[in-house]
Amino acid sequence: MTTTESTAKKCVFFDMKHSNSAARIRLWLALKGIGNDRVETKMISSSAQLSEPDFVKINPLKKVPAFVTDHGMPLFEASVIMGYLQDRFGSDFGEPPLLLDTPEDRALVELIVRCHDLYVASANCTQPNFSHTQGALYLDPTPTPFTPAHRTMNAHTRAAKLAELYKQLDWVERTCTVTTNDEDDSPPFLVGNRLTHADLTWYPTMVMIQFMLPRSIGWPDDFLEKRFPKLAKWFGHCRSHHHPIFDKVRNDILEENQKEYDQGWLQGVKEDVKANPEYKWNYILD
C-alpha cells in the first residue's frame, strides 16, 4: 500500500489482474510505454486489501482502479484516471495517439465509454445489494466464499441486468464504426481508424463476459459471432494486430477467472438460472 502524502515522487496505480475496469489503465500505460519510473503499478492480490485503511483513504469505494498522483492527490474511477493520464502524459508519449481528430469522433468515443461505465461496469449506488450490470454474471444468490451477503443478487434482478447487458452490447454493435464488409480493409476499431479509449475500455470487459456468459448464464461460446459480428471482428483484430499487452491482459483476466471457476465460482449463478426458467436468460438463440 501507499499513502497520499504530497512527498510522493511518482504516480501510483493500484491494479488487480482480473479487474476489467483497471485493465484499461494497464493497457494505456503499456501502449504509451510508461513504466514504473513514471507510474508505479501496485498489484492488489486480495479483496481484503481493498478495505485496508491506507487504501480506503485513496478510494473510499474500496475498489480498483485507484491512483495517486505524484503530488499526492488520490483519484478513482477508471475514466477519470484515464483522463488524467492523457492530460499528464499523452503529449509526452505520442504514439499511438489514442485521440481522434474530429469533435464528432471524440464525442462518440466518450459516449461509448460513458455507456459502458454507467450501464455495464459500475453500480450507481454503493449500498448493500446494489450491483453493476456485469455482476449478474457472477454474483451468487446466497452468500458464498465468492459473494458476501451484501453483494448477493436475486433471480429477478439478475434477469433484468442480463437484459440490460444484452441491450448495451446490441447498442455498441449498432453504433460502432466497424464494418463486416470483407472488401473493406479499414482497421476495425470501435470508432474511427485507430485505437481509442473506447477500445481500451471495452476490450477487458469483453474478455470477462466471453468467459462468464457461457459458463454462468448458458449462452453459446460463439455468441459474439452469432449475434454481434462487428464486435467479434473488432475483438479478433485487437488480439491479432496490436501490442502484446492485449493478449497479456486477456491471459491475466482468464487465468484469475479460471482459477476461481475451478474452485466452484459461477456455479451458484448457473443453478440460479436453472431454478428460475420463468425469466428470459438466452438472448442469442431467438
Residue 1 has pLDDT above 60, yes or no: no
Q: Round to the nearest angstrom and report the end-to-end CA distance of the chain.
A: 49
pTM exceeds 0.75, yes or no: yes
Q: Any idea where the domains of the chain sit in the sequence? A: 11-89, 103-275
254 near 207, Cβ under 8 Å? Answer: yes
Q: Does domain 11-89 have CATH number 3.40.30.10?
A: yes
**Mind listing the pLDDT tens digit for each residue in 19-49?**
999 999 999 999 999 999 999 999 999 999 9
DSSP 12: E
Average pLDDT of the chain to the nearest whole number: 93
Q: What per-residue confidence (pLDDT) applies to 93?
A: 66
pLDDT for res 35: 92
Specify the amino acid at residue 257.
N
CATH second-level architecture of 103-275? Up-down Bundle (1.20)
Cβ atoms within 10 Å of 240's Cβ, excluding its own: 9
Calculate mean pLDDT across residues 251-261.
Answer: 97
Per-residue pLDDT for 243 more than 70? Answer: yes
Q: What is the pLDDT of residue 97?
A: 81
Instruction: Give me the pLDDT at residue 91, please.
Output: 75
| Pair 95, 184: CB distance under 8 Å | no
Q: From residue 174, how far is each of 33, 152, 230, 245 by CA, in Å?
A: 33, 32, 8, 27
d(CA 35, CA 74): 20
Specify the range with the lowest mean pLDDT, choosing from 7-11, 171-175, 238-242. 7-11
pLDDT tens across 76-109, in order? 999 999 999 999 997 776 667 888 999 999 999 9
Q: Give the CA radius of gyration of the chain.
A: 19
Measured from the Cβ of residue 52, the count of other Cβ atoms closer than 10 Å reads 12
